[in-house]
Structure 1
Amino acid sequence: MALPDPIPKPIDHVLRGAPDALALLDRAGSWTYAELERAVASVAGWLGRQGLAPGDRVATWLPKTRLACVMPLAAPRAGLVHVPVNPLLRRAQVAHILADSGAGLLLTQPARTATLEDDDVPASCRVIDEAEIAFDGDGPGPSQADPAALAAILYTSGSTGRAKGVMLSHANLWLGAVSVAHYLRLAPADRVLAVLPLSFDYGQNQLLSTWAAGGMVAPLDYLTARDVVRAVERTEATTLAGVPPLWVQLLEADWPAETAARLVRLTNSGGALTPRLVRGLRERFASAEIVAMYGLTEAFRSTFLDPALIDANPDAIGRAIPFAAVMVVRSDGSRAASGEPGELVHAGPLVAQGYWRDAERTAARFRPAPAFAEHRGMAVWSGDTVVEGEDGLFRFVGRDDEMIKVAGNRISPGEIEEAVLQGGEAREAVAIGVPDARNGQAITVVLAGDPAQEEELRTRLRAALPSFMQPATYLWRETLPRNANGKLDRATLRADILSRVTS
């Protein structure tokens, strides 16, 4: 199959299906591509009448409503920057994103607004009920925006502090959609069940890549694996994307044979598929291809593994996706030899524009590509250690940072520690990710303080943090170890905890 056109366009041009073909299906009904285009224009028109300046930020804090699906296209069409907020986040995290992004509008629902306190929303940010926005009003046609212009800011956790905003251009989003539609071989006949949060690059791309291929998206907010099974049957889904913990749950669910047979494509990211999971998916979904992928928000997606290779190479993350230049680099900046571990560096037009208003962290992660790279300019230095084999496949070795990944969610230890210490129940705290069979990792917090305060701490965190950020285990000590510089000795604590878990 020929490489797709690498020339980027404004992201709102991504609606490439036939006007009368189905573009979106949910419990409220369906939209054709013509109806979806009208909705995008209508919302863009409404946004254009709100007194915002070009480049202003508009945040959405919503489940997978129709407005949440339309906004990634409508906001850029209006010359604005979309800031999707994970619907699972609580008020403290939402307040941080609103303040950090400088959002001028927050589009949400009254039940969510009621959880916010007065200081959570900046004075310059208006809160709008999504019910006020119509999908059948007047609005502009497809934009002529500069593909290099900022289109979205996606917030992702960093290892040392609060979530940081990754800046994505029209070109980043357009080329990511075209690339994925190409290597997944999506077609107009495909129906993609979108279960992942739209605030994730992986989740949002389910919309964009499907529409770039002229297919249909069925957005779903689910509570149980059974909800997903029913939705596959109801929507006649052909494609399902997930993260390893979701696959564990789905393999435990009851699947009618005819429902399982509907799926022809399973895609995975947000954590490695184990050989056991691959075998389970093969047995349950015999008609489906399994596509393993690796990526990071700062470069969207780096590699994918051809479905024909996964059984023989379950440990591989594959080869570079279209438009990505992926390489293994030694610490001195030279190319690593075949089979030699090095840092994965991603160059090319999928590389994001850096972190929003954070020059220091941008300079640390976004640096010039190595001298030997075919794609010059800025590259993302991932901090992940990989090797490239003689077969040309990349294999993941380890992660240099301290990120915790629970059920596909990247969690900052620093953010957990900040929340733990905020109430004064403990003097010091270190958050550590430990292996967990169902969720990939679970959070253990080692604390200095009085263990009698644990129940009060747990109660407070249940209100302060979303469910995926809740510590599973609390280990209380009189004091925590320090290194020669007087800092908390996180490495020793981590090694100690992990040795106990794995022994």
Structure 2
Amino acid sequence: MTDSIIQRLADHALRQGDKVALYGRQADGQTYQLTYQQLYQDVFRWADVIRQAYPDSEGNLVPIFTQKSPSMVVGILASMAAGQCAAPLNNKLRPVQLAQVLDASSARIGFIDNAALLALRTAKQGDIPAHCQWLWHDHHVAQKMHHNQFNRLQDWLPIMPWQPGEASEIMAPVIADGPGVCLFTSGSTGVPKGVLIGVDDLLARAEAEIGLFSLSGDDVLLNILPFSFDVGLNQLLTAIVVGAPLVILDSWLPTDIINAVATFGVTGISGVPAIWQDFLHQQLAFNVPSTLRYITVSGGSLAHELVTRLPSLAPNLQVFKTYGQTEAFRLTALHPQHLHSKPNSVGTPFGGARVYIVNERGESAAPMEEGEVIHTGLGTMHGYLGEVAGDEKCRANPFATGPDDPQLAIYTGDYGYLDEDGFLFLRGRKDHMVKISGNRVYPNEVVPHLLALDAVADAAVVAVPHENDYTLVAALVATAEPLDNLMVIRHIGQMVAAYMVPRHVLWLPSLPRTASGKPDLNTIQQMATQHVVDAQSQR
């Protein structure tokens, strides 16, 4: 068998089987741990039933509709061990979203747990396609409400209690460049798209992350991001490849994160801006002395005033900013030594990734010239589930010059530029760019200036059509009492051009967010539009 993530798991089980692979905390507060030998055995028990569902074919979708837990880890790895394509699904998916996922596949078998059963409480017959047999794996710890929900669903949905048997421990041959994982992401329409990721690329991503963060088996990684999000998934696979323990924490509360670091001796955390904003606004930090040596800011922007304060969260803490998309994993990374000199940049290419800027003439842009960000190399998706390469996002690589160059490129839809030193700076999304009074505006550029206000805990800015033009609306979350709206507008007016100043301020208890923790701009757009309409009607 050639090198693969599953082969690395097998090696760890053989050479250090008693070492802990997964730590976590159960609903009752008790901690649990799973060794590499136990994880290996569980993976192949689950893999056997997957092989039975697909005895003669590879690369089929296996949906894993569970909470973030060891069971989801086992399901992901078991699908890969059986030569199939794991599809980790966030257990907060609504029935309509689950139906969209299943409509895009011909999955014969999937795994479901107690938490996901409750997510289907509003589902009724006909809402969810019935071609997938669901295996309810944690029924032995179910409560009455779970059994009631199971009894209701089984009348029309193929679902059954399931207990894995003994493992055969027969590993499937690795399918060279075949799909190993499918991650579902919502496009501008809100319909999930399945992003197919190759098994070879998954291993290469993990190895590149090991190099970026200088990881070894002595590290302990804290997982706080969903495995349905590429950054969370890659952290899991990186821990498996390097043989390090992974602590699974299903909480973003700063106090829970601080306690997990102290309890388990965590050395690294991959996080999104919202998590670190909470730390800074609550003036919290990790205990001293601390084992923590690095954190990441992934999946969004953070005001540079806040970014440069992050190293103060722990002694000698290294902070990495990273940028990527589900279709183009981690294009760039800003290394700690450049955090203060280039805080507004998202860094230079990550691992074997390559980054280009294409201007409006379709030519390679000069340094400092704005254009669309193009990605090739490490992290490039195979394509979308059910579609062939050639989608508007995934196209032939215009920069391929030889047989060894990547043949596919990802047109990210993000606009930005490379400076003279090769550092990438982002302006905003191509599909979010609007013209206000004839000026090109990327609403996301205003967000860092809002986050610089001590009274603002979280922020998003969207453009709403208004009187044959656009007006910007700032959706804000207050740290304590909301500021007077006029004060917010005056503050922004001192930082940006007049046409970039939001004319409306909408205070919210919290920003709607996607499963990966990013602001849900579709929902915020709807709220902002209604806010402008209401404001107009009151005049």
TM-score, normalization: structure 2?
Answer: 0.72
Q: Which runs of 4+ in 1 moved over 6 A?
A: 442-447, 465-468, 477-480
Partner of 1:258: 287
Instruction: Say yes or no: does 1:377 pair with 2:380.
Output: no
For the Cα contact (< 8 Å) 1:446–1:474, is it kept in 2? no
Following TM superposition, by how much is the alpha carbon of 1:198 offset from its aligned partner in structure 2, in angstroms? 0.6
2:21 alignment counterpart: 23
Question: Aligned to 1:290, which of 319, 336, 351?
Answer: 319
Question: Quick one: distance in 2 between partners of 1:163 and 1:204?
Answer: 18
Amino acid at match of 1:23: A
| CA deviation after TM superposition for structure 1 residue 475, in Å | 4.2
RMSD over aligned CA atoms reads 3.3
1:387 equivalenced with 2:385 (yes/no): no
Partner of 1:492: none
1:401 Cα deviation from its structure 2 partner: 2.3
Retained in 1: the 8 A contact 2:67–2:115?
no
**Change beyond 3 A, Cα 1:306–1:257:** closer
Other structure's SS at 1:401 match = helix
Residues 287-296 or 70-79, more deviating: 70-79
Q: What is the number of residues matched between the two proteins? A: 432
Aligned pairs for 1:237-248 within 5 A: 237-248=266-277
Task: Decide whether aligned partners of structure 1 residues 332 and 257 sit closer, same or farther in structure 2, where only a CA change above 3 A counts.
Answer: closer
**Corresponding position of 2:502:** none
Measured at CA, do residues 148 and 372 of structure 1 come closer, stay the same or move farther in structure 2, by a change above 3 Å?
closer
> Does the CA-based 8 Å contact 1:245-1:440 persist in structure 2?
no
Structure 1 distance, partners of 2:531, 2:70, is: 49
Report 1:67-466 matches (<5 A): 67-113=71-117, 114-115=120-121, 116-131=123-138, 137-222=166-251, 224-253=253-282, 255=284, 258=287, 261-359=290-388, 362-371=390-399, 375-402=405-432, 435=447, 437=451, 438-441=457-460
**Contact 1:446-1:477 at 8 Å conserved across structures:** no
Structure 1 residues 6-45: Cα deviation after superposition (integer angstroms, max 9, x where no partner): x984432343644333221123522222222222222112
Helix, strand or coil: the match of 2:327? helix
Q: 1:446 to 1:399 in 2, by over 3 A?
A: closer
Inter-partner Cα distance in structure 1 for 2:193 and 2:100? 10
2:460 maps to a residue whose letter is Q
Quick check: 371-380 or 204-213, which moved more?
A: 371-380
Aligned equivalents of 2:80 and 2:195: distance in 1? 16
Aligned to 1:457: none
**Gap regions ≥5 residues in structure 2:** 26-30, 139-160, 434-442, 452-456, 467-513
For 1:201, give the aligned amino acid: D
SS in 1 for 2:231: helix
Q: CA deviation at 1:332?
A: 3.7
Q: Distance in 2 between matches of 1:111 and 1:84?
A: 14
Counterparts in 2 of 1:220 and 1:329: CA distance versus 1, 3 Å:
same
Instruction: State the AA in 2 paired with 1:123.
Output: A
The farther-off stretch of 94-103 and 212-221 is: 94-103
1:12 aligned to 2:15? no
Describe the superposition over 1:254-305 as per-residue Cα deviations: whole angstroms up to 9, x where unpaired.
Answer: 7575367221110111112322222331222232100110111112111111
Q: Secondary structure at the match of 1:297?
A: coil
1:140 is paired with a residue of what secondary structure? Answer: coil
Q: Do the aligned residues in 2 keep the contact of 1:232 with 1:259 (CA within 8 Å)?
A: no
Distance 1:70 1:112 in 2: 16
- Tell me the distance in 1 between the aligned counterparts of 2:331 and 2:320: 13
Listed one character per residue, the Cα deviations across residues 375-414 of structure 1 (whole Å, up to 9, x for unaligned) are: 24111111212211122212112221249xxxxxxxxxxx
% identity of equivalent residues: 28
Aligned equivalents of 1:240, 1:130: Cα separation in 2: 29
Indicate the SS of the match to 1:473: helix
Aligned with 1:299: secondary structure?
Answer: coil
Does structure 2 conserve the Cα–Cα contact (< 8 Å) formed by 1:226 and 1:254?
no
1:302 maps to amino acid: L
- Whether the 8 Å contact between 1:43 and 1:134 is mirrored in structure 2 is no
Could you tell me which residue of structure 2 aligns to residue 60 of structure 1? Answer: 64
CA–CA separation in structure 2 for the residues paired with 1:255 and 1:247: 10
Aligned 8 A contact 1:333 1:370 in 2? no
The one-letter code of the counterpart of 2:22 is L
Cα distance change of structure 1 residues 133 and 177 upon mapping to structure 2, 3 Å threshold? farther
In 2: Cα distance, 1:259 partner to 1:134 partner: 45
The AA in structure 2 aligned to 1:473 is: M
CA offset digits 1:191-245 (Å, max 9, x no partner): 1110001101111111011222221101111163322222222222111111111
Query: Which among 47, 50, 55 is matched to residue 47 of structure 1?
Result: 50
State the alpha-carbon separation in 2 of the partners of residues 134 and 170 from structure 1.
Answer: 28
